[in-house]
C-alpha cells in the first residue's frame, strides 16, 4: 500500500504458522482494506500483503528505528524465538544476520502501541509447548508469567502494556475492532483484562450462544465426537470457562469450533496448549469434572447436575448420543380461547 497520512501500522511475523494472517483476510463488515482506509490506517508492511521485500523492508525498519518514519502500531504475529541459549540465532531476519528478537524489541520501543496478534505472540502459544527448544515466548508473557521479551514493566508511549489479542487463530474482528479503538484513541487500560486482552471479546464466555446449551442444561452429554450432546462432561469442552465470544460473533457469519462439532480448548488463555491431558478428554475426580463452569461452586454443580440428569427429557437423552436429531421436539396444538 502506498504511504499516506494517518496511522502507520507495521505487521511482522515471528515463530508461528501464519494462521492469524489467514484469519484476518476473512474479515467481514468491513473487509480489511476498507477498514484500514476508513480508520486512516496506513499499512507500512505485511509479509504476505506487501510487494516490498529484501533491502526495501530492511531500509523501512531502519528508518523507523532512526525516527525518519513514525510507527503508530506494531503488530507481531507468532512467538518471539530466543534460542539457542538466549541468542535468538534460531530466527534471524534475512539479509541482516541479526536475530529477529532484536528487531522486534527495537521496533516495540518506537511504537505508540504494541499488539500481540494471536496466543503465540501474546503468551508463547503452540510454539512454546513441550520442551520449548526454540525458547519461544510472548511479547510480555511467558505462558502465565509476566516478562517475555519486553518485560512486565513495558508500557507504550500512551501508557498501555502490550495489547494481547489472544486466540489460535484470532477472530478477524477481534483484531479489526481493536485497531479501530486505537485509531480513534478509545482504547484505555480499563479496556484490557488482567492478561492484557481486549475486554470487547473476553468479557464473554464461549458458552454464550452455544447451540448445545439445551443439552448442557440437562447434562445430556456426548460420548463420541459425532454426537450432538454437550461436550463438557466427557469430550473436554471448556466453553463454560473460556473467555471469548466465539458463538455470538461467528467466523464468516456462521462458524465456530463448537458448531463444527469440536470441543472448545480455551485457545485465548495462556497455557492452553498444554492442558495436561488430551484436548478431547475431560479429566475428573470421583466422576466430577475438574474444570467446572466459571463462577459455579462445586457443591452447586453436583446438586444441579444430579437434578438435571433426573429431569432430562427422553428427546435429549437419545439425541445427545446420536449424530443427527432422532427425536424431534413434541408438536403441541395451540389451545383456542
- Give the Cβ contact number of residue 129 at 10 Å: 14
Domain boundaries, the chain: 7-202, 204-324
**Cβ partners under 8 Å of residue 76, min gap 6:** 11, 12, 13, 14, 104, 114, 115, 116, 117, 121, 139
Tens-digit pLDDT profile for the chain (337 aa)?
Answer: 334 448 999 999 999 999 999 999 999 888 899 999 999 999 999 999 999 989 999 999 999 999 999 999 999 999 999 999 999 999 999 999 999 999 999 999 999 999 999 999 999 999 999 999 999 999 999 999 999 999 999 999 999 999 999 999 999 999 999 999 999 999 999 999 999 999 999 999 999 999 999 999 999 999 999 999 999 999 999 999 999 999 999 988 889 999 999 999 999 999 999 999 999 999 988 888 888 888 888 787 888 888 898 899 999 999 999 999 999 999 888 777 6
Domain 7-202 top-level CATH class:
alpha beta
Which three three-digit cell numbers place residue 194?
Answer: 488482567
E strand segments, 89-229:
113-117, 136-137, 141-142, 145-146, 163-165
Distance, CA of 226 to CA of 126 (rounded, Å):
26
Q: What secondary structure does DSSP assign to 13-52, as a single string?
A: E-BS-SHHHHHHTT--SS-HHHHHHHHTEEEEE-TTT-S-
**CATH hierarchy code of domain 204-324:** 4.10.480.10
pTM of this structure:
0.92
Helices (H), the chain: 19-24, 32-39, 55-65, 100-110, 119-123, 172-183, 199-202, 213-217, 298-310, 314-320
R_g (Cα) of the chain, nearest Å: 23
What's 11's DSSP letter?
E
Distance, CA of 10 to CA of 113 (rounded, Å):
11
**Taking a C-beta distance cutoff of 8 angstroms, is the pair 128, 83 a contact?**
no
- Give the Cβ contact number of residue 324 at 10 Å: 7
**Taking a C-beta distance cutoff of 8 angstroms, is the pair 241, 205 a contact?**
yes
**Taking a C-beta distance cutoff of 8 angstroms, is the pair 104, 11 a contact?**
no
What pLDDT is attached to residue 227? 96
Amino acid at each position: 500500500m502506498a504511504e499516506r497520512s494517518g496511522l502507520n501500522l507495521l505487521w511482522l511475523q515471528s515463530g508461528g504458522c501464519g494462521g492469524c494472517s489467514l484469519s484476518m483476510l476473512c474479515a467481514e463488515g468491513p473487509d480489511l482494506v476498507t477498514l484500514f482506509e476508513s480508520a486512516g490506517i496506513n499499512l507500512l508492511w505485511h509479509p504476505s500483503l506487501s510487494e516490498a521485500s529484501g533491502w526495501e523492508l530492511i531500509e523501512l525498519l531502519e528508518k523507523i528505528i532512526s525516527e525518519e518514519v513514525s510507527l503508530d502500531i506494531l503488530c507481531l504475529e507468532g512467538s518471539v524465538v530466543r534460542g539457542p541459549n538466549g541468542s535468538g540465532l534460531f530466527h534471524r531476519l534475512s539479509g541482516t544476520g541479526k536475530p529477529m528478537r532484536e528487531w522486534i524489541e527495537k521496533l516495540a520501543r518506537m511504537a505508540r502501541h504494541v499488539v500481540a496478534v494471536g496466543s503465540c505472540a501474546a503468551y508463547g502459544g503452540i510454539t512454546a509447548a513441550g520442551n520449548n527448544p526454540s525458547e519461544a515466548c510472548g511479547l510480555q508473557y511467558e505462558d502465565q508469567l509476566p516478562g517475555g521479551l519486553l518485560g512486565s514493566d513495558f508500557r507504550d508511549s500512551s501508557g498501555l502494556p502490550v495489547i494481547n489479542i489472544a486466540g489460535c487463530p484470532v477472530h478477524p474482528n477481534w483484531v479489526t475492532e481493536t485497531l479501530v479503538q486505537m485509531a480513534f484513541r478509545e482504547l484505555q487500560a480499563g479496556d484490557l483484562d488482567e492478561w492484557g486482552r481486549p475486554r470487547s471479546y473476553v468479557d464473554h464466555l464461549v458458552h454464550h450462544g452455544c447451540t448445545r446449551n439445551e443439552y448442557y442444561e440437562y447434562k445430556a452429554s456426548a460420548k463420541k465426537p459425532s454426537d450432538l450432546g454437550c461436550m463438557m462432561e466427557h469430550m473436554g469442552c471448556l466453553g463454560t470457562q473460556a473467555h471469548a465470544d466465539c458463538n455470538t460473533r461467528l467466523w464468516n457469519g456462521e462458524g465456530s469450533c463448537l458448531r463444527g462439532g469440536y470441543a472448545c480448548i480455551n485457545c485465548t488463555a495462556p497455557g492452553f496448549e498444554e492442558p495436561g491431558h488430551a484436548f478431547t478428554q475431560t479429566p475428573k475426580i470421583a466422576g466430577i469434572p475438574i474444570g467446572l463452569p466459571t463462577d459455579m461452586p462445586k457443591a452447586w454443580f453436583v446438586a444441579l447436575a444430579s437434578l438435571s440428569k433426573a429431569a432430562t427429557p427422553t428427546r435429549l437423552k437419545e439425541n445427545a448420543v446420536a449424530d443427527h436429531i432422532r427425536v424431534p421436539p413434541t408438536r403441541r396444538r395451540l389451545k383456542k380461547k
